Amino acid sequence: MTTTTQPTPGKLGADTQWAVETHGLTKRFGENVAVNGVELLVPRGCAFGYLGPNGAGKTTLIRVLLGLTRADAGSMFLLGYSVPRHRATALARVGAIVDEPRFHGHLTGRQNLQILAAAREPAARVRIEPSLERVGILHRADDKVSKYSMGMRQRLGVAACLIGDPQLLILDEPMNGLDPAGMQDMREMILSLVAEGRTVVLSSHLLDEVERTCDAVAIVDRGNVVRQGPISELLAGASLMVQVECSEPHRARTILEGTNIGAHIEVGQIGLGITLPVGTAREVIAEINRVLVHDGISVYRLQEIQASLESWFLQVTSRLGSEE
């Protein structure tokens, strides 16, 4: 692996503020660049969402970070340790679920964890019982995994992460296969893990779950990280949306297009949907109301729409309207 960007020197282990740090990380599959010079900084002690459409390279990046496949270029650090140079040291404090969690079906959940614990430090064996209890499958721990539902295998996957007492958890679509109660449990568990000072990287396409769970996100599209940062800051930079219920919506649209507010206006069944440019002052909303009333349009309701992570995600990704 070649290094395209020199990392900040002198940061090792607990000294660094980043749980995950990548510079120019690249992974190619033939002509296809799955991860393209990714610069990613995941702060310690937070829940970090990693979002992207299908095929954006989310899972590939995780696989590269965990040493499941080799990077073609770039450098990366987990918990401050250079990977793959100090891979064993770094991964000793990392737990991860990648893709669908699969285990030996002929063994029980507990026996699968015993195998994984044996590959870790001796103390990991002691953590099997608490981990099973924490993810809520202790009562099924002695059943064969082949009899587990998808949701239970997800929980077992999280338990497998926890037996290493990880400082960093990387969870790839952990909500898959979970029922609503299971998703609620998972969300609470992630928040509790963060409350304990651990870092959780959550790769998901369930934007509302990420928005409810994570403090910061990165949006990846076509192998590139296109935005990253705290959700509140990112949404502050989103376009301002205004919904207007009024009489004569078509005339109202013509009137507003004649002004200099620079908005994108769509006519709907009950009124107008107005998208204002990023950075527009909220006073413009009052100005819209004044202009419409002045020209004889009856305004019944005027509502500022809070930008959601989903709407912002669709704005910044190049795959507007894709299945995700």
Partner 1 sequence: MVTTRFMELRKRRGLMVALILVTVGIPTVFLAIRLLLHAFAPKTYGPAGGYDIYTALVSGVLYVFGFIVAATLGATAGSADLTEGMFRHLVVTGRSRLALYVARIPAGLAIVVPLVAVGFTIVCAVCVFASPTRLNFNGVNVPVNLSRAGLENWAADHADEVICNFGINISSSSPSASTIPAAINSVPCGNGSGAGPVITKRLPGSQAPPHVSQAQVREAARLIARMDYSDYTRQFLYPSDSLMIKSGLWLELEAVIGFVVGLGLGSLLGQRTVAVILMIVLEVVLTPILSRARIAHLSNLQRAVVGLATAHLAPGGLPVLGGGPGGNAGNPGLLPESTTVAVCVIIAWLVVWSVLGAWRMMTRDA
Give the binding site for partner 1 (CB under 8 A): 63, 66-70, 87-92, 94-96, 98-107, 111-112, 114-120, 160, 164
CA atoms within 13 A on the CB side of 301: 8
Nearer to partner 1, 98 or 231 (CB): 98
Q: How far is the CB of 39 from partner 1 (least distance, A)?
A: 24
Instruction: Confirm if 210 and 274 have CB atoms less than 8 A apart.
Output: no
Nearer to partner 1, 15 or 119 (CB): 119
Q: How far is the CB of 102 from partner 1 (least distance, A)?
A: 3
The amino acid occupying position 85 is R
Beta bridge partner(s), residue 220: 225
Q: How far is the CB of 135 from partner 1 (least distance, A)?
A: 15
Nearer to partner 1, 68 or 286 (CB): 68
User: What does the CA dihedral 98, 102, 104, 105 come to, rounded to 10 degrees?
Assistant: 170
Beta bridge partner(s), residue 25: 38
Could you tell me the CA-to-CA distances from 266 to 5, 28, 42, 219 in Å, in that order?
45, 41, 38, 27
Q: How far is the CB of 265 from partner 1 (least distance, A)?
A: 50
Q: How far is the CB of 315 from partner 1 (least distance, A)?
A: 34
Determine if the peptide bond prior to 9 is cis (ω within 30°): no
The amino acid occupying position 283 is E
Long-range contacts of 251-255 (CB under 8 A, 24+ apart): 251/295, 251/297, 252/292, 252/297, 255/291, 255/292, 255/295, 255/297
Nearer to partner 1, 89 or 308 (CB): 89
Tell which residue, 253, 288, 290, 261, has the closest CA to residue 277: 261
Nearer to partner 1, 62 or 285 (CB): 62
Nearer to partner 1, 169 or 217 (CB): 169
Q: How far is the CB of 184 from partner 1 (least distance, A)?
A: 26
Place of tokens 């202009």: 291
Using only C-alpha atoms, the chain has a radius of gyration, in whole angstroms, of 24
Separation of alpha carbons 232 and 251, rounded Å: 36
Separation of alpha carbons 285 and 259, rounded Å: 13
Nearer to partner 1, 159 or 265 (CB): 159
Q: Which residues contact 291 (CB under 8 A, 6 or more apart)?
A: 255, 256, 259
Q: Is 163 helix (H, G, I), strand (E, B) or coil?
A: coil
Q: How far is the CB of 192 from partner 1 (least distance, A)?
A: 22
Nearer to partner 1, 14 or 181 (CB): 14
Q: How far is the CB of 244 from partner 1 (least distance, A)?
A: 52
